Structure 1
Amino acid sequence: MVLRVVGKRAAGASQVVKNNQAKAPTTPRQSARSEATSDGDCEFQSRKSERHRTFGWVEIEPGLEVEALEPTDVLKEHGVPERVMLSYLKGEIEGEAAVKNLPAAILLIVWFLLMNLSHELPETIQSIEKAIDFDIAENANFAFSSPLYMGHKNYEDVNTFADWYSWMRVGFSAIYFPMDASVSEGAEYSLGQLTFDEASTYLQHNRKIGDVILTQQRLFDSDCSNPLVSNALSLNCRSFIGLDLRLKPTELDVSQSGKEFDENADPSKTTTLKYLMEFPQVNVSQQLEQLEQTRWLDNSTYRVKVSFMTYNQIYDVLTTTHIHFMFAISGHIFKQITHRSMKLAAHSSWESWVFEVLFFGHITVLFVCEAFEAICTLREHRYNVLRAWKEYWNFWNVVDWVSICLAYAILITWIIQCVEQDAISAKLEVWEPSARAARDFCEELGAQRGCEGVSPKHLEWCTLMATNNMRCGCAPVGGLCQDSFNHSVGWSCHSTCCKDYLGLHSLCRSSAGYGSTACDQAQSYDIALFTQVEELGYQIRSNRWISGFYPVCIMMRLFKAFAAQPRLAIVTKTLALAANDLTHFGIVFLSIFFTYVAMGMAFFGREVESFASFDRACLALLEALMGEFSVEEMELSGRPVAFFFFGTYMMAAVLLLLNMLIAILMDVYGQVAAGSRTSESLWHECWDIMRRGARKWTGEHTPLSQVVKKYMEIHGKECLESDKVIYVDDVMAAVPGLNRKQAEEEMTSALEEYALENSPDIQISEVISTMGKYFGGQVAPAVSPEELEDISRQMAGCPPTRGALASSDVSDNSVQQAAEGLVGAGISVEVLLKAAGIILDRHEPEWSETSRAQVTALRHVISSAELLCREDKTIMMCQL
């Protein structure tokens, strides 16, 4: 048993090569070991030299292959192979770069998060949109009953054309177009009609912008799939463009189809509920009754959208709300509410500017660094584009450039969004900006440029307004548009000074009625404004999609920073090493998974909505893997079928495949984690960076990159794979200015790291101690102290008292004969381990010379026995 464990990594020179241990010729600096002999000692003269199991270039006496050697002694007496030293230095350089880049990678996602939050305002926007949703779903009721006057139906209960008209007239109009102030239940008094400002407000703090727009998409005539039956029954077939309504669409489906809906909407069916807040005497019920009488809804209606726009002045958020009624060809009416919200002032606070500068500045620095690296690669290959291209493009550089390009795509879409938001904000301003107002005013007076050519009477007011950022305020007075800056001048200005939202609606309000020219202009202005807001909504959605996927690039950049630090790279290395097994597992898993998808659609597709389509069935089975499932819905097709499908899927996918996936990952993870334990921790590398930085500041440290560069300039790239043994003086000669202390420390650290990576996983002393305790209680009869002492002397190579080694002829200095002599002496593995257990269990912090000799003897025996067992495995000792 011991021989198998020890022999795992400790064979001869050929095995050393297999384990990537350096093997170098003997150098003059390697001193030959010799032992003085005396009358009481055994002599093994001219023993064959063997390679040390850890430091493969070190020649050592047989039996001492596993002897612990101090890296400092190895460096002084045996040196270091070039590739060992350079591999260590390059690893330190990469690890140092990774630690230095880690804060930058983390800061990148911090800047992006803060910038995205300042752009999106999720808390504010969701608060406004949820309030509108609740009001429409809970307060816009119809089907009232007496005497409690309780509406029993909401928009979800709209199932016929008549229900839609009832909901619009009784439910929606009551909450969006109130005429009279509401009073408490049972009150017999009236608070009168609402004022214009009160009627213009929705949900207390949201200002109504424009009209309520009713848009309709209709079916068009098409060929029937079975014309014989259709013609026999005198039926006409219709088709649609856009959203498929065979199953209930999600909010995202409806929102994404908005642009397609607008493109295919019937202009002749587009209407507005006109100017109710401008003319309170007009009743919305009359307009809706007229639509119902003219059969605005009919069998060709496919989708209806009720749209309105509100502005919250406290949060500076403009919101468009769409209430969709989708008339499926099957006869079912689906309902959905969607919104598009935006903050008009994109940079209302200095924080948003700061976060954008930090994020895009960070991206610009990355762009410069990557461009410089590409140029350096091109110069290194003497401007050979093809070779430089192959050298430069690797996985991590692709990640860097994708993250840079996506970031600049976000910047471009964000600039476009800001420009559009400013344009919409300008249209909604109460007064026109001073420069434009001054220009319009002066142009009305006949000026061509600024205030030039204006008469002295008008020049004073024009100059004052332009220089002091005054604005042309227009208020309807007697049907005219007068300036409100200084009524005393008595100037009347043209309607160009009232081309903003409030000015146009003020003129409409002061006109004869909603059929006037002024009201037509206001209506056209509102429709153009609504269209502009919708177009901006699509732009914002594109920006949100890019911003939503961008964190994946940031995550990959984090993995790049983790990859050079072994303790942080456990996850990425685990996935990389397990990629082959995961690929084969994925083939098996997907085969079984899609089989159950097809089975689920066949069993439950007609009864359970989650299995009615391929994508829904895939999502349902993925949720089932995570524990989210509904057996009750499956039981609609019968309990036996549900039991068979659900039971076999849980057994195959969850209990078997999912656990196999965990087993594959954990198996590789254990190997990666075991290998990373010998590497430096993140904190240790941080300390090394600070220590080297402090020494560099004082001039005692040469950068490791400079050491590698200058060494390779002299010895060439071949030294990266060379087993040539070098010493401190060699490195100092190749790197001028290198401090001896630094050279010794770095080369010693290289040996320490090499020893940790190439030492046996289980120490010999641990194996002997553990097995000694195990066999200790099974050895009978007990070994006396005299026998143990005799065994110790035999193992130490001293003359035995019982002639244990008498039969061994060691005159030819054969290690194999020495091992045969020990076996022939009857020293069994049990007795050997019993002795080792006693020795190691009783050792003090500092072993005595006798104990050290005994432990060394144990190593002699085990190493020699290994050589013997490779020759003849039939020996009982080798089988144990």
Structure 2
Amino acid sequence: MAGIPHSMQSHAAHHGHTAAHPSELFGAEHERDEEPEAGQTGLLALGTTVLASGELEFDEDLTAVKHDEALYSAVNTMKRHKTITYDDIVMSQGVRQSVYLEYIKWEIDTENTFLELPLTIVVLVSFTILALYILHQEQLYAIEEAFERDIIENANFAWSGYFGHKGIDQVMSVADFWSWMRLGFLSLLGRSQWLYSEVAPEILGGPVTAGTSYNRATLPQSWLFAGYEKPAPVANDHLQYSKLVSGVRMRQTVSAAASEHCIFPSLLDGQKQRGWLQKPCFPSELGLLSPELQEAENFQGLERQEFLFPDLSSMSEMTRKLLDMEDGCHSASLSNSLESCLCEWCKAQTPSQPWIDERTARIEISMLLFNAQYGAYTYLSVNFMMNRGGHIHAFTHCLSAFVSPFLRPFSELVLTIIAGILWIAALLYAAVAEIWEIISTVRQSSKRFYKSLWQEYLGFWNFVDWMSVLVGTLTISFWIQGRLAVSAVNELMPAMIQASLAPDAGYEEIARNVFASAEVMSKAKKDMELTMMIYPLIIMLRIFRSFEAQPRLAIVAATLKTAAPDLAHFFMIFWCVYFCFVVSSLLFFGQDLESFSTLDRALHTSFLAMFGDWDWIGMRDVGMMRSAAWFWLFMIVMVLFLLNMLLAIIMDAYQVEKFKASDTTTLWQQVLDMIQRRRQYQRGERVRLADIFEVFRKQYKGKEKEMMSSDRMISVEYLVTHVTRMPYKQAYKTLVNALKRDEELSNGFMSEEQVNKQVESTLDAFAAKIQAVKDDVEFVSDQLDFWDRLQAPGDSEYDFYFGAEGHTPDEASKLWIHNSISSISVELQHLFARGLQRIGAWQDEFECEQSELNENLLEVHQVLAQLQDAVQNLQAIVDSMDGNKEENPNPG
């Protein structure tokens, strides 16, 4: 009786069939629920009820069930093992409104986020096209690289015949600077004659022109080509294709001069210190290490301004001005003609002094060039940084901007305009969507607006959306600012060109204005490029947000989330160890290698070393064995250990997320599902989830928080009744899916380690149960063996153990046997109840599998029947065709 299988009831209820009454299973009448009389034999019927959910409910009022311990235990065990499915819960109880609406909102948000992916890709593509066609970096690179290479390779000094063997990198002193300016740089500006190839020296066997009429002295100095207004080379041409706009400007940064800035040992007397040094100190942080390009973009604090104007001065006059700047008008003062000195700053000093002195920290030589081939301005600056160690760092830097972004081929211009419209429209859409979300949040919340925004609106993805809008807006504003700055230069160009064609007294003032506008134009261009560089990174975050709506695409982001706790602890160790190595490298190599001389440089250089980029030759010069010891230790700890541990952490998390997503929907399947749902909505076979959500919003008058926290039970009938045109099938499916998602969220995902532990725990429990059964069997075996060896009454041992005072031996023997058998019967009842319980569970699984097999067989029979009908129809068609042939034979 204790082993009644409940699978019959649950399985029948699950498939919609009427369950057999338990009395039929026991072979007795249902009405016999009273306690059997003494000596009564046969099986006892149990009272049961099949609930609407398919559960088998036992009548606990049965006296026999209460008094029979084994039977009562079996009934309770069966009740604990009832099979309840999601379908049963939905049909019998329904789903809590909070659970259901959380599912609906999650589905809506997921679909909306997924639909943002094409829009985000359109934004990225349109921005890319817009940036490429507006910036045209390849054209600016061609211009700037030509200018910089010309300065480096062709501005040579220390001439020997036709060759100059020193360039800008060999400017090591102030004297070298003036040599480079007069002999190298100035020659680039003053090419007033056509250049010809060089003549081979006689040491090579005589000039190749021997015996010919070729003579450099008789060759023309200029050529008037077809279409030219003037013979080439044209005045102020630079590298044939560019034009010098407003001359050359020379400025410098000077340091303060004071004896208080000098640093001496504290034991020396201050007066003696100054008397021994005999000059003040000039502190400066410029040029400590190799300068970076952005240092040339600082236009503040530059003074001692002088100009070289090829339009106003000849080559000899410009050379003379450089000489006056070098000697501080000393030559002019010796000839008693100081007013003839061309260095305005030098002769304004009392006494006059050279333009460069020990206070000089930076020299900037700048000029504005215009390239009509691409329609671009280029602000070219040659910078000399003089550090207080005595070394001079020299480098060139170019900042370019196009005259107009609309002077392009028609096809390119149309594509640029379309891309710009799409990108600006996407920015406006994102801004309007976020503003509308803010308004909705404030309206739906009962709190003050700032609390509702802080608690209910602000989030990481909202921050990303606003950052994309903000950076995009800044990009547009900087682009407009840059265009306005270029327009200012364009407006000055007519006056500058007129002054260049007909130089007058106002030339220098116009040139100063042009240089000032060019500075503003250059800074605006760099600001725009900076914001444009940041914007794709913001778009990358938005793409990751859209990827989260697709499980297969979200693996990367999910991997980082899963590994985040481990990564946080790992990086605490990693950065501590890495920083120790960085400080060690700073102290060890910093004095000898520039790449390790500062903390930021050491951080970067050590980071590159972890990935295989290091300067071993420079490190070796510090000391072979000492450098090798540091390098080996760094590679073993940072690369072999820590980096591989980092990779292991990420790969472990990736395996977990990949296992989660192994059974999820693919991207293409998700797209097809969305298309199918759209078609079903158009055919009236389903309603939109947003419509379902809106029905509940109207019921709660827009109070979404109250609506989402309600525990009201929602049934299929409720949804069909209250949601207009909602099919029964969709209502039922959404409720079941809501239950499934709620259970998944509550249970979470078990990792492989947790699964292994659970399996191990289950096996241990199963082994304990097997051991208990084994002990019971051994006990029964011992009891049976004992009874097999039981002796007859009158035996001394029997009398000792089984004798009873006041009873005859027969009565005592019968009494003992009766008690022992009763005790064994109770134990066997418990034992068989547990066994039958396991058999019942096995039978449940077997019946489920048999049911699925029956359904598959039924489908196969249906398919065979359809095939048979099709064959019969084909046979009938063939027969009719044969009959037609016999009635109408073809004579041919």
Give the TM-score normalised by the residue count of structure 2: 0.67
Judging changes above 3 Å, is the alpha-carbon distance between structure 1 residues 640 and 170 closer, same or farther for their aligned structure 2 residues?
same
Contact 2:590-2:596 within 8 A present in 1 as well: yes
- Residue 32 of structure 1 and its aligned partner are, at CA, apart by 7.2
Matched, 1:373 2:437: yes
Which stretch of the first structure deviates more once superposed, 280-289 or 231-240? 280-289
Task: State the alpha-carbon separation in 1 of the partners of residues 154 and 606 from structure 2.
Answer: 38
Matched, 1:392 2:457: yes
- Residue 318 of structure 1 and its aligned partner are, at CA, apart by 0.4
Task: State the alpha-carbon separation in 2 of the partners of residues 759 and 417 from structure 1.
Answer: 54
Contact 2:366-2:382 within 8 A present in 1 as well: yes
Matched, 1:156 2:169: yes
Once the two structures are superposed, what CA deviation does each residue of 1:570-626 show, in whole Å capped at 9, x if it has no partner? 333333343333222222222111111111111111111111111110111111122
Judging changes above 3 Å, is the alpha-carbon distance between structure 1 residues 809 and 552 closer, same or farther for their aligned structure 2 residues?
farther
- Residue 552 of structure 1 and its aligned partner are, at CA, apart by 2.5
The alignment partner of 2:277 has SS state of coil
Residue of 424, 427, 433 corresponding to 1:360: 424
Judging changes above 3 Å, is the alpha-carbon distance between structure 1 residues 579 and 237 closer, same or farther for their aligned structure 2 residues?
farther
Contact 2:589-2:597 within 8 A present in 1 as well: yes
Structure 1: segments with no counterpart, 5+ residues = 1-25, 430-499, 509-517, 772-805, 826-831, 852-880
In the alignment, what sits opposite 1:660? Answer: 645
Task: State the alpha-carbon separation in 1 of the partners of residues 49 and 543 from structure 2.
Answer: 49
* 1:297-312 equivalent positions in 2, closer than 5 A: 297-312=356-371
Greater share of helix: 2
In the alignment, what sits opposite 1:336? Answer: 395
In the alignment, what sits opposite 1:188? Answer: 215
Contact 1:98-1:565 within 8 A present in 2 as well: no
- Residue 722 of structure 1 and its aligned partner are, at CA, apart by 7.5
Matched, 1:274 2:309: yes
Contact 1:711-1:731 within 8 A present in 2 as well: no
Task: State the alpha-carbon separation in 2 of the partners of residues 56 and 405 from structure 1.
Answer: 59
* 1:595-674 equivalent positions in 2, closer than 5 A: 595-674=580-659
Contact 2:386-2:392 within 8 A present in 1 as well: yes
In the alignment, what sits opposite 2:118? Answer: 103
Once the two structures are superposed, what CA deviation does each residue of 1:500-534 show, in whole Å capped at 9, x if it has no partner? 222222221xxxxxxxxx1x311211121011111
Contact 1:381-1:387 within 8 A present in 2 as well: no
Task: State the alpha-carbon separation in 2 of the partners of residues 667 and 44 from structure 1.
Answer: 59
Contact 2:26-2:44 within 8 A present in 1 as well: no
Contact 1:114-1:355 within 8 A present in 2 as well: yes
Task: State the alpha-carbon separation in 2 of the partners of residues 120 and 397 from structure 1.
Answer: 30
The alignment partner of 1:368 has SS state of helix
Matched, 1:742 2:777: no
Matched, 1:326 2:369: no
Larger Rg: 2
Task: State the alpha-carbon separation in 2 of the partners of residues 240 and 712 from structure 1.
Answer: 71
Contact 1:80-1:727 within 8 A present in 2 as well: yes
The alignment partner of 1:341 has SS state of strand
In the alignment, what sits opposite 1:776? Answer: none
Matched, 1:501 2:489: no
Which stretch of the first structure deviates more once superposed, 183-192 or 588-597? 183-192
Judging changes above 3 Å, is the alpha-carbon distance between structure 1 residues 34 and 244 closer, same or farther for their aligned structure 2 residues?
farther
Matched, 1:346 2:440: no
Judging changes above 3 Å, is the alpha-carbon distance between structure 1 residues 136 and 33 closer, same or farther for their aligned structure 2 residues?
farther
Judging changes above 3 Å, is the alpha-carbon distance between structure 1 residues 628 and 819 closer, same or farther for their aligned structure 2 residues?
farther
Task: State the alpha-carbon separation in 1 of the partners of residues 693 and 830 from structure 2.
Answer: 43
Matched, 1:410 2:398: no
Judging changes above 3 Å, is the alpha-carbon distance between structure 1 residues 848 and 545 closer, same or farther for their aligned structure 2 residues?
closer
Matched AA of 1:210: S
Matched, 1:285 2:325: no
Task: State the alpha-carbon separation in 2 of the partners of residues 630 and 63 from structure 1.
Answer: 76
Residue of 243, 253, 263 corresponding to 1:225: 263
Task: State the alpha-carbon separation in 2 of the partners of residues 321 and 633 from structure 1.
Answer: 33
Judging changes above 3 Å, is the alpha-carbon distance between structure 1 residues 695 and 141 closer, same or farther for their aligned structure 2 residues?
same
Judging changes above 3 Å, is the alpha-carbon distance between structure 1 residues 166 and 372 closer, same or farther for their aligned structure 2 residues?
same
Residue of 115, 118, 122 corresponding to 2:130: 115
Task: State the alpha-carbon separation in 2 of the partners of residues 750 and 141 from structure 1.
Answer: 79
- Residue 337 of structure 1 and its aligned partner are, at CA, apart by 0.5
Structure 2: segments with no counterpart, 5+ residues = 1-12, 28-42, 58-74, 200-213, 223-230, 265-269, 329-353, 761-820, 858-892
Matched AA of 1:399: V
- Residue 120 of structure 1 and its aligned partner are, at CA, apart by 2.1
Contact 1:44-1:813 within 8 A present in 2 as well: no
- Residue 288 of structure 1 and its aligned partner are, at CA, apart by 2.8
Task: State the alpha-carbon separation in 2 of the partners of residues 273 and 423 from structure 1.
Answer: 23
Aligned length: 678
Task: State the alpha-carbon separation in 1 of the partners of residues 180 and 149 from structure 2.
Answer: 15
Judging changes above 3 Å, is the alpha-carbon distance between structure 1 residues 287 and 607 closer, same or farther for their aligned structure 2 residues?
same
Once the two structures are superposed, what CA deviation does each residue of 1:669-699 show, in whole Å capped at 9, x if it has no partner? 3333333334433322222221222232333
Task: State the alpha-carbon separation in 2 of the partners of residues 173 and 56 from structure 1.
Answer: 101
* 1:422-571 equivalent positions in 2, closer than 5 A: 422-429=487-494, 500-508=495-503, 518=504, 520-571=505-556
Judging changes above 3 Å, is the alpha-carbon distance between structure 1 residues 289 and 192 closer, same or farther for their aligned structure 2 residues?
farther
In the alignment, what sits opposite 1:590? Answer: 575
In the alignment, what sits opposite 1:494? Answer: none
Residue of 130, 139, 148 corresponding to 2:145: 130
Task: State the alpha-carbon separation in 1 of the partners of residues 371 and 829 from structure 2.
Answer: 97
In the alignment, what sits opposite 2:296? Answer: 255
In the alignment, what sits opposite 1:205? Answer: 241
Which stretch of the first structure deviates more once superposed, 384-393 or 150-159? 384-393
Q: CA RMSD in A?
A: 4.5
Task: State the alpha-carbon separation in 1 of the partners of residues 496 and 560 from structure 2.
Answer: 59
Give the TM-score normalised by the residue count of structure 1: 0.68
Once the two structures are superposed, what CA deviation does each residue of 1:798-845 show, in whole Å capped at 9, x if it has no partner? xxxxxxxx999999998875446899x9xxxxxx9xxx9xx9xxx999
Matched AA of 2:547: F
Contact 1:44-1:810 within 8 A present in 2 as well: no
Matched AA of 2:725: G
Matched, 1:92 2:92: no
Task: State the alpha-carbon separation in 1 of the partners of residues 240 and 126 from structure 2.
Answer: 36
The alignment partner of 1:306 has SS state of strand
Contact 1:142-1:166 within 8 A present in 2 as well: yes
- Residue 216 of structure 1 and its aligned partner are, at CA, apart by 2.1
- Residue 153 of structure 1 and its aligned partner are, at CA, apart by 1.7
Residue of 669, 674, 678 corresponding to 1:689: 674
Judging changes above 3 Å, is the alpha-carbon distance between structure 1 residues 150 and 33 closer, same or farther for their aligned structure 2 residues?
farther
